[in-house]
Amino acid sequence: MNHFLQSPHLGYTREFNHKLFQSLEAWFNLQHASFDYQLVLLEVWLKTVEEFLRVLLSLAETGETIQHWQQFLQVWSQLFDRAFAQAFQSEHPLQVRGKFLDAAITFRKQQQQLMEVLLKGNDLPTRSEVDEIHRSIYELRKEVKSLKQAFMESQKERDQEQEDI
């Protein structure tokens, strides 16, 4: 698959095809990273379930029971929070999560670049063009505000001068 994605892109749709294949590769990488991250989370869930069953067993041995669902959730969340914190104190889960986040950001970036090409090709405004318009409007508003302030100050000075005469 990798050779296909790296082959030269030719013709009218060259840029689109290039961005599409980059997006596909980013999507594959995201899916792989997501699967690895889900495995880490599954380990946390399994450890939490094991610990929760031990707690329930120890409560049953002492004759205690969980009386209501809030107590159930409190015990569960304490165990899950502890297991999650312990899991992400070690290096491997942190690296897996980092790879997942990097892959998600890269995929999003590739998606945006592909959308830019699609929109340009269909004579529609792209996100970067809309962002540029918003930036221009913002700067124009600031300029109008400062001009209004300068005008009001000059009006006050002129009115002050006329009062002094």
Model-level pTM? Answer: 0.66
At 108, list the tokens: 């999003």
Q: How far is CA 27 from CA 17, 21, 71, 116, in A?
A: 15, 10, 41, 17
Separation in Å, CA 70 to CA 61, 75, 83, 104, 120? 21, 9, 20, 35, 54
60-95 residue pLDDT tens: 889 888 888 998 899 999 999 999 999 889 899 999
Alpha-carbon span 40 to 87, nearest angstrom? 8
Q: What is the pLDDT of residue 121?
A: 82
Residue 151 has pLDDT above 70, yes or no: yes
Mean pLDDT across the chain: 89
- Residue 15 to residue 18: CA distance in whole angstroms: 5
Distance between CA atoms of 58 and 75, rounded to whole angstroms? 13
Average pLDDT over residues 134-147: 96
Predicted confidence (pLDDT) per residue in 87-123, tens digit: 889 899 999 999 999 999 999 999 999 998 888 888 8
What pLDDT does residue 1 have? 52
Nearest-angstrom CA–CA distance, 84 and 107: 26
Query: 48: how many CB neighbours lie within 10 A of its CB?
Result: 20
Q: What is the distance between the alpha carbons of residues 98 and 17, in angstroms, rounded to a whole number?
A: 29
What is the residue whose two structure tokens read 């297991």? Answer: 83
Decide: 19 and 110 in contact? Cβ < 8 Å.
yes
